[in-house]
Amino acid sequence: MLAGTLPYKTVAIGSRFQLVPDNLKWKFKTNIYAADGFSDGSDPIIEINRPTSTLAGKKITLSFAAATKADEDLIASYMPKPHLDGTPIQPHEFPTSLPGYLLRLKAQLRVDGELVAQTPGSFTMGSEVRQSNQFYNPSKAAWDGGADNDIVVGEYNAIGMDLQGNGAQQLKKQQARMEATHSKLKQFEQRPNDTTLIEGLTKEDVAGDLLQAGILAYFAKVNASNALDATISGNMKSYRLPSYGRFYTSVQPSYWFGIARNVSFPGMGIDVDYLFTQLESSNANASDKADHMRRIGAESSAAEHTIPEILARNAALPASHPAQPQGVSAVKALAVAAAQGQRIYALNSRNLSLHSTILQSLAIDQDVKSEIANALASGKEVTVHEKNIAISGWTGSGYLILDPQTGAGAYKIAGGGNGGEVIFQGGAALFALTQIMSFAFYGGTAIGLALVAGPVVVGITLLIAVVTLVAALATDPDKLWIQTELTKRLAIIVGLVQLGALAFALSPFLFFFVFIALLLYIALIIVTELGFNLRKNRPDWRYA
């Protein structure tokens, strides 16, 4: 018979309370400061500061809206007029830039579409404000976060959190919202005179949901890759710790005597400032943990260009078509530089005497060189290529700053972002403009939004399929373990997909061979493993 109590002696009893006190709650805050403000001392202009339990699974956005009716009218004057013959307005008819110096915008913070804070004053479009995201960690009794972000006035930012892993259900919910919006736009495309079809649609339904899907898809892909990597290693266990990132529209000002004269919309970007993983090794080998951390870091960096490429892809064109949007991340920048024959420098404590000479020879931004010098002085390892590269309109460099002891680090592109960008034309201006105008202003021009939303639904559906497949392998993904060759082969497929992304960055011709190899490998699994198991009527995997 079991005892009625545990055989332990009570040493001390802490405070008793009916509700978790405020100082023991995890919290998240996002603050907006003036351009010269800082999160370590300045007073924010506006902020959101709430327990993570109230924000989990919700969409948080920072956007800008026209400050006055005159600003709205000015933006509307640059929009294309409906065609007399009723044919749809095309994305290329939208302006590629706006006169930023003539427009005043207000910053707005929303949670699940609800406006929770708005700046009392306004800003010139193309100028900058500073934004900070932070977690409150009750175990440390302190706020902690990544570097502050310089936000160009006119951007639309979706801030996504991954507290302990985002499941397939959250992505499916996001997909349902986007498909509902897409359906309304397709109906309106067929009946452009019936404006009731788009009544109620807001910028949150179009720009907000698309960007939210991007950051959610990033975390889903990274979590799936990390889980598979840990499973394959056999001696690693990986857990997601509270993390956050942002997916945003790029706004690029052109200056004239220090004034942001024209503002263009080149594409989208992703910046994951705070990505933390709890990694444990069954053999307690610090070197194995560091090597594993480097691998998952490189995979996470690659996702910062592949996810935006998928979401911005033109479904009407082949994947290898030169007009397809091209993303850039730290690892892709290094791969492209290597393909061009550039030298790739790995700077560490073993070649300390060469650091000064190599830094002077680098033909990259001076700010990046200064950051690298500071990192080397603090004992970090740096990987960088010798000169700037150009990828589909983006020019800059990619570099890695790693801790040699833990393998953790920053995978950065020039400009200070821990992330990537994707440059695309056509629908870029159309998509970006949804966030600074009232949706009602679009009228007949809303037809063009269907051209943007279409490929997005395809992209997010593919991402959901990947996450659902991983979730199907284990009721508790953290307890997934390899029983036979099938799960190993799934991991190889993921590896081939990642290799294909890298091959595409180097050469569409090389991508073709990797793609054929992937198809042949999947066919082999179907014929040998799955076919054999179906004949025997038995499952091929089980759960611990």
pLDDT tens for 243-302 read: 999 999 888 899 888 888 889 888 888 999 999 998 888 888 888 899 889 989 998 998
Identify the bridge partners of residue 136 per DSSP, sorted by sequence position. 27, 143
**Nearest to 159, CA basis, from 108, 111, 106:** 111
Whether the model clears a pTM of 0.95, i.e. scores above it, the answer is: no
- Which position has the higher pLDDT, 143 or 443? 143
Structure token pair of residue 384: 């960088």
Q: Confidence class of residue 426 from pLDDT cuts 50, 70 and 90?
A: very low
Other CB atoms within a 10 A radius of the CB of residue 289 amount to 20
In angstroms, the Cα distances linking 453 to 2, 163, 183, 270, 460 are: 61, 28, 10, 19, 11
DSSP conformation class of 484: S
Contact status, residue 298 vs residue 411, Cβ threshold 8 Å: yes
pLDDT of the residue at 423: 66
* Locus of tokens 């942002």: 246
Structure token pair of residue 413: 């592109």
pLDDT of the residue at 314: 73
Rounded Cα gap, residues 140 and 138, in angstroms = 5
pLDDT of the residue at 521: 53
- Which position has the higher pLDDT, 457 or 179? 179
Q: Max CA-CA distance within the chain? A: 86
**Is residue 534 within a helix (H) or strand (E), and if so which, with residue range?**
helix 531-536
Q: Is 473 helix (H, G, I), strand (E, B) or coil?
A: coil
**Nearest to 369, CA basis, from 358, 380, 378:** 358
Contact status, residue 62 vs residue 157, Cβ threshold 8 Å: yes
Backbone Cα Rg of the chain: 25
- Which position has the higher pLDDT, 7 or 456? 7
The stretches of 434-484 forming alpha helices (DSSP H) are 447-472
Rounded Cα gap, residues 333 and 45, in angstroms = 36
Rounded Cα gap, residues 156 and 144, in angstroms = 24
Q: Is 109 helix (H, G, I), strand (E, B) or coil?
A: strand
